[in-house]
Amino acid sequence: MTHQDVASQQLAAGADDTASIRRYMGLEWSPRVNWCAGFVAWCLLTAGYASPAAGAPRRGARALIRWLAGEAGWVIAPPAINPDLSVLRPGDVVCWKRVRIGWQCHVAIIEQVSPSGVVTIGGNESGSIRRIWLPPSGFTSRLHGLYGVVRPRKVVS
């Protein structure tokens, strides 16, 4: 099972605030908690991929993507603004800068890539787990721009 499969199962179950994700994040749950990084990290861990076991990297988008890049290397390194879609693959973890808050980012798992755009699954997408389609223009219009992309590695046991 891949981390995309775990994310899809959570999406299908409507499990926006499961006890497992809350425990993994180690945060008191409320609608105001920014939990996109916790969701992605939990999906990776559940599927056997490299994922932070504790601390800040699983709580913040940029911290998570930097941690993953340290484990597997960057596919697209910051500061990236406009990605070439041809380098993206399903399973990549993508981190975007938000429009209104310059320092804040959002992180999601790429589910599909085509010339017409990218489909991601992420947590805290308007407060829930959602599948989002972004056309190429959506990389800069929906969110301010790409911060970076990593390709997580499976943990060898």
- Name the average pLDDT for the chain: 79
The CATH class for the domain spanning 3-150 reads alpha beta
Q: Which residues sit opposite 157 in a β-bridge?
A: none
DSSP 144: S
**Boundaries of every domain in the chain:** 3-150
pLDDT digits (tens, 9 = 90+) for 11-25: 777 655 455 666 666
Whole-number Å distance between alpha carbons of 19 and 30:
13
pLDDT digits (tens, 9 = 90+) for 32-71: 566 888 889 888 988 888 888 666 666 688 889 999 999 9
User: Tokens 């809350």 correspond to what residue?
Assistant: 22
Percent of the chain exceeding pLDDT 90 equals 21
pTM value is 0.84
pLDDT over 60 at 30, yes or no:
no
pLDDT of residue 74: 93
pLDDT of residue 33: 62
Picking from 40, 50, 17, the residue whose alpha carbon sits closest to that of residue 110 is: 40
